[in-house]
C-alpha cells in the first residue's frame, strides 16, 4: 500500500501516539502543540535529505528514523541539556510504501523512548525524495549550560570517544567493500552521547558535538572563544578497525577523524583543575595565540582544512 492510496491524514493517524508527558497539554492533532515548562529552554533543528544524509540502499527505514533523532539529541547533549519534545516534518514521494514510512517512525519512536522524548507534532507534504526535518526542544539549569565560547587558554582539549567511524563507514559503502561490520554499523546507527554530556557539563568550560569533523569543531570553539589551539595528531583516538579500513581504501585515517564528520562524539575543553573529573581522550590544548596548529611526530603545520561543508563537494 502506497501513501497515495491512503492520504495524508490517515498516514498521520497511523504514526501518531497520545502524549504521556504531563507537560504536554496538546499534542499531535491540533494546529500547534501546547507545553508547559519551568526551566531554560533549548531549541535545535536539523534535516536529513535522501541521497545526501542517507542512502536507502544502505540504511533501513528504522535506521533513517533513528538517525534523525540521534543527531538532534546530540546537539542538546552538547549544550548540557535534557531533550524533551520533538516536532517532525516529512516530505515524501506519494508512491512510497506506507510500511516504509511506518518503519521510519518505528526508528524515531525507539530512539525517542530511549531518551524519554515525546513526539508532539509536525507536518507532512509531498516531494520527489524523502526529506526529514526535526525540531527538538530541551531544558537545562543555567549552571550546567555549556557553550562554545568559554574555552580558556591552558584548557585541555578532550574528545569523548573514538573518531573516524562516520567517514570510514561511508567510504566502505561507496566502494562496495565487504566486511567491517562494526565500522558500518557505527555509520548507519550513530548514537548521541547524552549520558556522557550530562556528567561532563558541570566541569567543562566549552563543549560541542562532532558532526562535521574534529578539525571543524575545534575551529568553532576557537572562533567563538577568541583563542587558538594546538592538536597532537597521534593523540586523536581512532579505533583499529577504522585504521584497517583506511589502509584498504588507501586513505588517511586521521583525515577521517579531522575532516570526515558524523561521529557525534563530544569535543570539550576543561581546566587543569577539573581534568580529574572527566573521562575522555586528551589530544590538545587551548592557547592564547589565535591560530590552530596540528603537531605530529613527523611534522607541524597549521590546520587549514575544515570539516564537512554542506555546500561543498569537498572536505
Question: Where does residue 184 rank: exposed (0-12), middle (13-18), buried (19+ CB within 10 A)?
Answer: buried
Cα separation of the two ends of the chain = 41
What is the full per-residue pLDDT of the chain (315 aa) written as tens digits? 776 666 655 665 665 666 666 777 766 666 676 877 778 999 999 999 998 899 999 999 999 999 999 999 999 999 999 999 999 999 999 899 999 999 999 999 999 999 999 998 888 899 999 999 999 999 999 899 999 999 999 999 999 999 999 999 999 999 999 999 999 999 999 999 999 999 999 999 999 999 999 999 999 999 999 999 999 999 999 999 999 999 999 999 999 999 998 999 999 999 999 999 999 999 999 999 999 999 987 665 565 565 544 435 443
Neighbouring CB atoms inside 10 A of 69's CB total: 28
DSSP 39: S
Domain ranges (residues) in the chain: 3-143, 146-302
Question: Where does residue 80 rank: exposed (0-12), middle (13-18), buried (19+ CB within 10 A)?
Answer: buried
How confident is the model over 199-214, as pLDDT tens digits?
A: 999 999 999 999 999 9
pTM summary value: 0.88
Q: Tell me the residue length of the chain.
A: 315
Say which residue the cell 524515531 belongs to.
108
Please give the CATH topology (third level) of the domain spanning 146-302.
Phosphoribosyl-aminoimidazole Synthetase; Chain A, domain 2 (3.90.650)
Q: How is the beta sheet containing 118-126 ordered, strand by strand? A: 40-49, 131-140, 82-92, 118-126
Q: Contact 241/164 with Cβ under 8 angstroms? A: no
Strand pairing of 206-209 and 266-270? antiparallel
Q: How far is CA 60 from CA 56, 104, 177, 216, 298, in A?
A: 7, 8, 18, 29, 42
Strand pairing of 131-140 and 82-92? antiparallel
User: What is the grid cell recorded at 169?
Assistant: 563507514
Q: Give the distance, in angstroms, between the CA of residue 15 and the centroid of all CA atoms in the same chain.
A: 24
CATH 3.30.1330.10 for domain 3-143: yes
User: Which strand (E) or helix (H) includes residue 83?
Assistant: strand 82-92
Amino acid at each position: 500500500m502506497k501513501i497515495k492510496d491512503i492520504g495524508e491524514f490517515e498516514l498521520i493517524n497511523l504514526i501518531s501516539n497520545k502524549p504521556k508527558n504531563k507537560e504536554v497539554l496538546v499534542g499531535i492533532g491540533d494546529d500547534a502543540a501546547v507545553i508547559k515548562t519551568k526551566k531554560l529552554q533549548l531549541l535545535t533543528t536539523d534535516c536529513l535529505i535522501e541521497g545526501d544524509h542517507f542512502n536507502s540502499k544502505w540504511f533501513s527505514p528504522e535506521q533513517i528514523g533513528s538517525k534523525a533523532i540521534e543527531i538532534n539529541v546530540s546537539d542538546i547533549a552538547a549544550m548540557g541539556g535534557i531533550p524533551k519534545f520533538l516536532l517532525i516534518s516529512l516530505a515524501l514521494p506519494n508512491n512510497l510504501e506506507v510500511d516504509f514510512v511506518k518503519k521510519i517512525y518505528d526508528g524515531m519512536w525507539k530512539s525517542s523512548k530511549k531518551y524519554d522524548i515525546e513526539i508532539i507534532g509536525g507536518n507532512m507534504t509531498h516531494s520527489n525524495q524523502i526529506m526529514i526535518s526535526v525540531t527538538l526542544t530541551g531544558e537545562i539549569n543555567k549552571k550546567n549550560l555549556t557553550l562554545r565560547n568559554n574555552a580558556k587558554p591552558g584548557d585541555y582539549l578532550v574528545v569523548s570517544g573514538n573518531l573516524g567511524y562516520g567517514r570510514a563507514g561511508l567510504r566502505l559503502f561507496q566502494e562496495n567493500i565487504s566486511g567491517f561490520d562494526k565500522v558500518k554499523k557505527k555509520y548507519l546507527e550513530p548514537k548521541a552521547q547524552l549520558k556522557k554530556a550530562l556528567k561532563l557539563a558541570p566541569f567543562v568550560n566549552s563543549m560541542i558535538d562532532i558532526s562535521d569533523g574534529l578539525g571543524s569543531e575545534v575551529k568553532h570553539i576557537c572562533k567563538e572563544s577568541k583563542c587558538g589551539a594546538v592538536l597532537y595528531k597521534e593523540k586523536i583516538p581512532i579505533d583499529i578497525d577504522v585504521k584497517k579500513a583506511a589502509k584498504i581504501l588507501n586513505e588517511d585515517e586521521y583525515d577521517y577523524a579531522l575532516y570526515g564528520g558524523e561521529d557525534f562524539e563530544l569535543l570539550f575543553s576543561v581546566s587543569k583543575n577539573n581534568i580529574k573529573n572527566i573521562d575522555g581522550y586528551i589530544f590538545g590544548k587551548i592557547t592564547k595565540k589565535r591560530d590552530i596548529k596540528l603537531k605530529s611526530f613527523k611534522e607541524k603545520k597549521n590546520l587549514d582544512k575544515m570539516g564537512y561543508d554542506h555546500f561543498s563537494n569537498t572536505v
